[in-house]
Structure 1
């Protein structure tokens, strides 16, 4: 009996024809800028390729723009930032602070607040692993950012997500994991008081 070749689904799309996302375009833009900084392409060529990258509809179109460039080296692994509330609480922000790709927050007895409103972060994703414990963890993100809370176990304290689903291109996604514990987790945009401070002194570190 002759084996029949597997049928091809009419909905199967070749990899190069898959629609490009904002993150796909941003990754190519960064690779092109790095190539120009290294002297691999000149400024006129950089401008032309950047314009083409921003107009690209598919991953195949993006691949053509970097086909003659070396593949980007994988980022060096870095340890997570661990913030512990302890007895008296702990916080990061609202000033500028170095944001790693992975943050671990333990509410403890004093609570933890992570405020991202003044940071300059070029990452596409930040994993925040939060454990509310006895006093809770609060995470404040800019209006342009978004949060994915699907990996959270609410626990007894629950999860309060007051963020909006809209996310501007090129801004990070906060991927929240962990557990609410007794006091719970809160992720939100700036409240009225915090927003007044941002507006009154936007250049404050």
Structure 2
């Protein structure tokens, strides 16, 4: 029996011809909005580019819309921040600290608090993996920042989301994933006590 010749494998498409996803389009939309907030493009041009971004089908079409804009600050090469609650707990902030593109928080026995209220973050998105475990994880973000919590499994301890969906231009989106565990995960804006402290000491570093 004569063997049939193998069909040639399809050649991969050049990267620019790959189909764009909803997330790809959304990332360009955020970059364009940030550029308008910084005065790099005017509002008429923003509207035109946003319309093109939302109807773009390939990476090449999206790339044209941001070719004359600076690249968003990249977190590549910067290791993730890992916080482990241990016996006595752990925290980062308040105060100014360098925000990587990824933060991993394990509540452990002592709990973890991640406070972004005084940071200067040029990233368009920060991935926060929160695992409540025994004592929970609390994430505090400034007013004007927004969070996407759809990727977090609430578990037994649950997810408490007290953030506002109103996001100011130029601010990062906190994309929260992980699991609530026994202790749960809380994400919120500063409470009254924290707001008073910031007003009384605005230059805290």
Bin for the TM-score computed over the shorter chain: 0.7 to 0.9
> Given the alignment of the two structures, is residue 58 of structure 1 paired with residue 55 of structure 2, yes or no?
no
> Given the alignment of the two structures, is residue 174 of structure 1 paired with residue 167 of structure 2, yes or no?
no
CA gap 1:107/1:188 in 2 versus in 1, 3 angstroms: same
Structure 1 contact 137–184 (Cα < 8 Å) conserved: yes
Structure 1 contact 22–169 (Cα < 8 Å) conserved: no
Q: Matches of 2:151 and 2:181 in 1, distance apart? A: 14
> Given the alignment of the two structures, is residue 23 of structure 1 paired with residue 13 of structure 2, yes or no?
no
- Look up the match of 1:97: 97
Q: Matches of 1:112 and 1:134 in 2, distance apart? A: 11
Task: Give the 3-state SS of the residue equivalent to 1:56 in structure 2.
Answer: helix
1:154-193 aligned at under 5 Å gives the runs: 154-193=154-193
TM-score under structure 2 length normalisation: 0.72
> Given the alignment of the two structures, is residue 116 of structure 1 paired with residue 116 of structure 2, yes or no?
yes
Structure 2: gaps (5+ residues): 1-19, 54-61
Structure 1 contact 146–165 (Cα < 8 Å) conserved: yes
CA gap 1:129/1:52 in 2 versus in 1, 3 angstroms: same
Task: Give the 3-state SS of the residue equivalent to 2:104 in structure 1.
Answer: strand
TM-score under structure 1 length normalisation: 0.72
Task: Give the 3-state SS of the residue equivalent to 1:58 in structure 2.
Answer: helix
Q: How many residues align?
A: 171
Shift, 1:79, TM fit: 2.1
CA gap 1:53/1:24 in 2 versus in 1, 3 angstroms: farther
Structure 1: gaps (5+ residues): 1-14, 34-46
Shift, 1:70, TM fit: 9.6
Let me know the Cα RMSD of the aligned residues: 3.2
Task: Give the 3-state SS of the residue equivalent to 2:47 in structure 1.
Answer: coil
